[in-house]
């Protein structure tokens, strides 16, 4: 893996240089290997032909002796016929000669006098069968003895009159490869010198050739590196002697023209997209406070009782809620009119528990439960932004529970943990599919049939602006829990 990685980091010039050197090296190795193999094949063919020639000469000599002998030409007479002549034949042809009967038993040999009572090794039966089945009535074996290679020829000794076998001739031939070894050594010596010279020349040739090839490519590469979508790009003015390089330069210059045209279209498209996104965000920001305002009015209408002794306090609370939402809409309108961002953060010291509890009062659903492990968690945060976070999460929780579901439950918990204010909103709705986990905070992504999918994305940005985090856990048909962690800032 490391080797592959390092090769990928090499420049084109180095790759071309190494490739040419590698080609030279591989070609030299192949030439040397083929030459060694060829020398081996020629050596085998030489020994095979030499054995065949000696065998033919010996057989002619044997036929001549058989034609002059007074003994009948039968197997039993072979030792008598060649007793005085076998050493002569062996010396003339410089080859050991052995005569066997047709069952493979040694009759006479030129190697050493036969000692009375000594049992000579028989010809194996498989060799006898191969001689018999051979068309030429001949079989050659290859053996190795004491480091030397032997090629032994087995053939029938024929009665030249009746044309029938009367015995078997074995001719052991020692292969002497000293001549071919010397020839191979001389060849490799000369080849090594030639190869070394050629290798040195190929290094210089590869260096200058790779430099020539990559010089124009480097110029084009530098221009490509300097190419920018936002700036005016210069064309390449280069005329080389390479058809491919000229085509590459022409393609680059054409790309510069197309890139300039595309940049103009892209800039116009981005401006139009920016206006569309701003319009969507403004619409969402205005729509966001309208929902709690509507819920507040409905709640006031449903719970209004003129005879309630706390009517003035409740009227004051409802009025404050409406005024907060109206202020939010006013801030959005002001920001849009000034072509600025959404309402700037106006940090104020407030009780997170109180603001969350007050925000939940605008919802009419009686299955919303609020709990907190302390009466106050004081921090600095924009009240409007915090209300927006809680309103959005609770509204999403309500919408995630099907209307036909019997048991509905939303739990809002506020607690302090590790110097952070933790706000969790849990529901027992239909949950979020696993494949949607990574996209849940993406702008324009929504699992609902209505809405633009901007809510979670916006509140995530708000939370992160306060160095906070928002996470969630969800199971299909079990429900979802969103957990907001906001650091308690110094007052």
pLDDT of residue 331: 66
Tens-digit pLDDT profile for residues 179-215: 667 777 887 788 788 878 888 888 888 777 777 767 7
Nearest to 335 by CA among 288, 282, 292, 291: 282
For residue 417, list its beta bridge partners: 420
Q: What is the mean pLDDT of residues 408-417?
A: 93
- pLDDT at 245 exceeding the cut of 80: no
Distance CA 255, CA 274 (A): 27
2-181 and 277-487 agree in CATH topology:
no
- pLDDT at residue 426, rounded to an integer: 94
Confidence check: pLDDT of 449 > 60: no
Dig out the tokens for 148 from the structure. 């030397």
pLDDT(413) > 90 = yes
The whole-number pLDDT of residue 368 equals 92
- Closest to 20 measured CA to CA, from 9, 30, 12: 12
With bands split at pLDDT 50, 70 and 90, how would you rate the model's confidence at 270?
low
Residue 352: pLDDT band by 50, 70, 90 thresholds? very high
pLDDT of amino acid 72: 87
pLDDT average, residue stretch 275-289: 69
Specify the 3-state DSSP secondary structure of 354: helix
**What pLDDT band is residue 489 in, cutting at 50, 70 and 90?**
low
- Burial degree of 481 (CB within 10 A; 0-12, 13-18, 19+): middle
Calculate the average pLDDT of the chain: 79
| CB within 8 Å of 406: residues ≥ 6 apart | none
Q: Distance between CA atoms of 81 and 393, rounded to whole angstroms?
A: 121
Report the distance separating Cα 73 and Cα 85, nearest Å. 16
Q: What percent of the chain has pLDDT over 70?
A: 78
CB 365 within 8 A of CB 298: no
Q: What is the mean pLDDT of residues 320-345?
A: 64
> Would you list the domain boundaries of the chain?
2-181, 277-487
Helix (H, G, I), strand (E, B), or coil: what is residue 425? strand
Q: Which residues pair with 349 in a beta bridge?
A: 380
- Over residues 170-185, the mean pLDDT reads 77
Please provide the CATH number assigned to the domain covering 277-487: 3.30.565.10
Check residue 339 and give its pLDDT: 42
Cβ(366)–Cβ(408) below 8 Å = no
The string of pLDDT tens digits covering residues 373-401 is 888 898 888 888 899 899 989 998 998 89
First to last CA, the chain: 55
Give the CA count within 13 Å in the CB-facing half-sphere of 152. 18
What backbone torsions phi and psi does residue 242 show, to the nearest 5 degrees? -110, 125
pLDDT of 424 > 90? The answer is: yes
Alpha-carbon span 186 to 207, nearest angstrom? 32
Q: What is the pLDDT of residues 95-114, one digit of tens each?
A: 889 999 988 898 888 886 55
Confidence of residue 275 (pLDDT cuts 50, 70, 90): low
Percent of all residues in the chain with a pLDDT value above 90, rounded to a whole number: 12
Distance CA 427, CA 365 (A): 13
- How confident is the model over 159-182, as a mean pLDDT? 81
* CA–CA dist 324, 127 (Å, integer): 113
Beta-carbon neighbour count of residue 122 at 10 Å?
A: 14
> Would you tell me the crossing angle of helices 383-400 and 243-303 to the nearest 10 degrees?
90
> Which residues share a beta bridge with 43?
none
Residue recorded with tokens 């809620």: 321
pLDDT digits (tens, 9 = 90+) for 85-96: 888 888 888 888
Of 196-200, 396-400, 446-450, 474-478, the poorest mean pLDDT is in 446-450
Fold of 2-181: Beta-Lactamase (3.30.450)
176 backbone φψ class: left, alpha, beta (φ>0; ψ -120 to 50): beta
**HSE-up of residue 223 (Cα within 13 Å, Cβ side):** 20
Chain centre to alpha carbon of residue 238: 38
Residue predicted with more confidence, 438 or 177: 438
Rounded Cα–Cα distance for residues 155 and 466 (Å):
104
pLDDT band at 230 (very low <50, low <70, confident <90, very high): low
Q: What is the average per-residue pLDDT within 413-432? A: 92
pTM of the shown model: 0.37
Contact 88, 190 (CB under 8 A): no
Residue with the bigger pLDDT between 291 and 132: it is: 132
Give the pLDDT band (50/70/90) at residue 412.
Answer: very high
Which stretch of 90-94, 261-265, 457-461 has the lowest confidence by average pLDDT? Answer: 261-265
User: Measuring CA to CA, how many Å separate 328 from each of 113, 131, 331, 356, 386?
Assistant: 128, 112, 5, 17, 12
Q: Which residues 6+ apart lie within 8 Å of 42 measured at CB?
A: 180
* CA–CA dist 339, 213 (Å, integer): 55
- Per-residue pLDDT at 221 exceeds 90: no
User: Are the CB atoms for 410 and 368 separated by under 8 Å?
Assistant: yes
pLDDT per position as a tens digit, 300-323: 777 777 777 777 787 777 777 777
Please report which helix (H) or strand (E) contains residue 220, including its range.
Answer: helix 178-226
Residue 1: what pLDDT?
45
pLDDT at 78 over 90: no
Does the pLDDT value for residue 176 go beyond 90?
A: no
Place of tokens 């050739």: 209
**HEC states along 286-308?**
HHHHHHHHHHHHHHHHHHCCCCC
Q: How many CB atoms lie within 10 A of CB 188?
A: 15
């Amino acid at each position: 893996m490391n080797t592959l990685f390092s090769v990928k980091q090499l420049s084109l010039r180095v790759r071309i240089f190494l490739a040419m050197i590698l080609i030279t090296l591989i070609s030299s190795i192949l030439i040397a290997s083929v030459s060694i193999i060829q020398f081996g094949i020629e050596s085998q063919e030489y020994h095979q032909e030499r054995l065949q020639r000696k065998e033919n000469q010996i057989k002619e000599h044997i036929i001549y002796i058989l034609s002059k002998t007074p003994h009948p030409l039968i197997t039993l007479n072979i030792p008598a016929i060649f007793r005085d002549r076998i050493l002569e034949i062996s010396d003339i042809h410089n080859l050991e000669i052995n005569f066997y009967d047709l069952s493979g038993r040694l009759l006479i040999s030129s190697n050493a006098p036969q000692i009375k009572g000594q049992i000579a090794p028989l010809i194996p039966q498989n060799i006898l069968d191969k001689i018999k089945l051979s068309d030429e009535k001949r079989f050659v074996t290859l053996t190795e003895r004491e480091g030397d290679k032997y090629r032994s020829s087995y053939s029938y000794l024929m009665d030249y009159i009746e044309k029938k076998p009367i015995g078997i001739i074995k001719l052991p031939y020692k292969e002497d490869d000293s001549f071919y070894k010397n020839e191979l050594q001389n060849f490799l010596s000369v080849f090594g010198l030639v190869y070394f010279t050629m290798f040195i020349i190929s290094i210089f040739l590869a260096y200058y050739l790779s430099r020539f090839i990559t010089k124009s490519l480097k110029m084009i590469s530098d221009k490509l590196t300097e190419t920018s979508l936002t700036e005016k790009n210069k064309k390449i003015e280069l005329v080389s002697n390479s058809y491919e390089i000229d085509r590459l330069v022409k393609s680059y210059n054409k790309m510069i023209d197309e890139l300039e045209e595309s940049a103009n279209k892209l800039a116009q498209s981005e401006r139009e997209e920016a206006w569309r996104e701003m319009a969507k965000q403004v619409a969402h920001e205005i729509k966001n406070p309208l929902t709690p305002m509507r819920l507040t009015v409905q709640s006031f209408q449903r719970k209004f009782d003129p005879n309630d002794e706390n009517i003035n306090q409740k009227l004051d609370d409802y009025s404050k809620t409406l005024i907060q939402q109206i202020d939010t809409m006013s801030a959005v309108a002001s920001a849009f009119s000034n072509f600025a961002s959404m309402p700037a953060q106006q940090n104020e010291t407030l009780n997170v528990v109180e603001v969350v509890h007050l925000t939940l009062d605008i919802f009419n659903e009686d299955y919303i439960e609020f709990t907190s492990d302390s009466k106050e968690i004081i921090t600095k945060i924009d009240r409007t932004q915090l209300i927006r976070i809680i309103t959005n999460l609770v509204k999403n929780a309500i919408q995630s529970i099907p209307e036909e579901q019997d048991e509905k439950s939303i739990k809002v918990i506020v607690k302090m943990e590790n110097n952070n204010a933790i706000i969790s909103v849990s529901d027992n709705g239909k949950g979020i599919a696993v494949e949607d986990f990574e996209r849940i905070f993406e702008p324009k992504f929504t699992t609902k049939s209505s809405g633009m999918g901007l809510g979670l994305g916006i509140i995530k940005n708000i939370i992160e602006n306060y160095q906070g985090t928002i996470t969630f856990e969800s199971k299909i048909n079990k429900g979802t829990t969103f957990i907001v962690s906001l650091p308690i800032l110094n007052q």
